[in-house]
Amino acid sequence: MSLQFDTANSQLLPRLRVELVAAMLRQQPLTPTIQNAFLHMPREVFVPYFYERDELERKRMAWKQMSPDVMPAHQYLALVYRDDALVTSVDSRGMPDSSSSQPSIMASMIEALAIEPGHRVLEIGTGTGYNAALLAYLTGDADLVTSIDIDPRLVQQARNALSQVGIKGVHTVLGDGYQGYQQNAPYDRVIATASAPTLPPEWYKQLAPGGRLVMELHGSLEGSFFLLDKNKQGMQAVGRFFDRAIHFMPLINRDVITPSLMIHLNERLAQPCRATFELPAGSPLPAILKTRSFRWLLQWSMPGCQLQERSQTSQNSSIIHHFYLCEPETKTLLCFLRREPGGHWQGSIFGSRPLWDDLNNAYALWHQLDCPEVDRYHVEVNEQGQALLSVGAFSFALPQ
């Protein structure tokens, strides 16, 4: 599919890019160099079409393709230059599996990278190639940029788009991003545009002494913008978090289990019920399970845990609210139930683990630490490459 724009639309493009940069500046300061990168880079070439949910299809996950073939080109351009993530690929289940990231999020991560001309950069997750193009602009030499993706279709599309905008030399590699790309290492900067539940060892090994890495570190419940600096000796590193929730597609790798968002309730509820109890009036549980800072701590103290909330209307028209917490290793399920109006929360445990006690212990720890927000946590990587996530006097080993 090729984009054909008339002269009027060509004149529209500079204004749309200026408006996009202005929208990003309303959220955060950006260096003039990064502003110029977005002003010069044609997002429409990298996103010749995208998908939006078809709201008329309520019974299934349905999408409609947006492109200049189905609407006037100027309308399409206005959509492309919104400060929004754009879904660019949908799998056979109807689930998004690739996107062009929200420009303001891209700008935040690139700003945090502090790229200087001459830096060698590794990007994990090529996607459309738009971010790789921005990185090439900032390094001043496209040959210094390596971008890897596991999807051959996306890699080829990115190569075509980069060529179309005149950027030659970016190393677009088909491969497993979890392994990085040793051939062009070491890298002064590493950026991941796919979320991961840990710090992949190869990314750390391929980061040069004095180098910097940015990514979304996403556990089973919450993710956050993470920045890691390796010391100049290359022996240790310290990382910190920015309390800004960002959402990337998960890293695809057969050896890395991305935390599931689905709980197989029927299977879990078929287990023996080990205990039932009623929560006292005014209990912070289970409502605290909606609080981001508590969910952040819970996912590290109970690795891989999953949460689900749902409501349903009973035959007598009362509303039944459910919270489910599942611990994956033992498959134990903690179920909270409340009937409206006027009901109290009741709890049941299905499985072998004393999950109610574990949840209360996590809540007590969270309070003991003064309910820390995400940006109070830090990560230290020792000489053996072991990564510890810490807050106060408590540490949790990041999963391997």
pLDDT tens column, 245-290:
677 888 877 666 555 556 788 888 889 999 999 999 889 999 999 9
pLDDT band at 217 (very low <50, low <70, confident <90, very high): very high
pLDDT band at 373 (very low <50, low <70, confident <90, very high): very high
C-alpha of 97 from chain center: 12
**Mean pLDDT estimate for the chain:** 91
The beta strand positions in the chain, using DSSP E, are 50-53, 63-66, 86-90, 96-100, 121-124, 145-149, 171-174, 187-192, 207-218, 223-230, 237-242, 273-278, 306-313, 319-327, 332-340, 346-350, 378-381, 387-391, 394-397
pLDDT tens column, 116-175:
999 999 999 999 999 999 999 999 999 999 999 999 999 999 999 999 999 999 999 999
Quick one: pLDDT at residue 262?
61
Start and end residues for every CATH 3.40.50.150 domain found in the chain: 7-242
| Token output for 168 | 């030659």
Nearest-angstrom CA–CA distance, 265 and 263: 5
Residue 8 has pLDDT above 60, yes or no: no
Question: What residue spans of 171-291 are helical by DSSP H?
Answer: 201-206, 265-269
Among 15-19, 93-97, 286-290, 371-375, the least confident range = 93-97
Nearest-angstrom CA–CA distance, 41 and 36: 9
- The active-site residue out of 89, 99, 101, 224 is 101
289 vs 92, residue with greater confidence: 289
Start and end residues for every CATH 3.30.160 domain found in the chain: 265-368
Quick one: pLDDT at residue 1?
35
- Averaged pLDDT, 216-242: 94
- Averaged pLDDT, 50-57: 82
Among 94-108, 134-148, 307-321, the least confident range = 307-321
Going by C-alpha positions, the residue among 317, 286, 301 that lies closest to residue 358 is 301
Quick one: pLDDT at residue 257?
58
pLDDT band at 5 (very low <50, low <70, confident <90, very high): very low
pLDDT tens column, 340-364:
877 889 999 999 999 999 999 999 9
Q: What is the dotted CATH code of the domain comprising 7-242?
A: 3.40.50.150
Quick one: pLDDT at residue 98?
84
DSSP-assigned states of every residue in 258-324: PPPS---HHHHHTS-EEEEEEPPTT--TTGGGG-HHHHHHHHHHTTT-EEEEEEEE-TTS-EEEEEE
Quick one: pLDDT at residue 3?
47
53 vs 24, residue with greater confidence: 24
Put simply, whether the predicted model's pTM sits higher than 0.85 gets the answer yes
Q: Give the percent of the chain with pLDDT over 70.
A: 94
Active site residue 2: no
Residue 10 has pLDDT above 80, yes or no: no
Amino acid at site 191: I
CATH class of 265-368: alpha beta
Nearest-angstrom CA–CA distance, 119 and 145: 9
- Asked if residue 64 lies in contact with residue 87, where contact means CB atoms within 8 angstroms, the answer is no
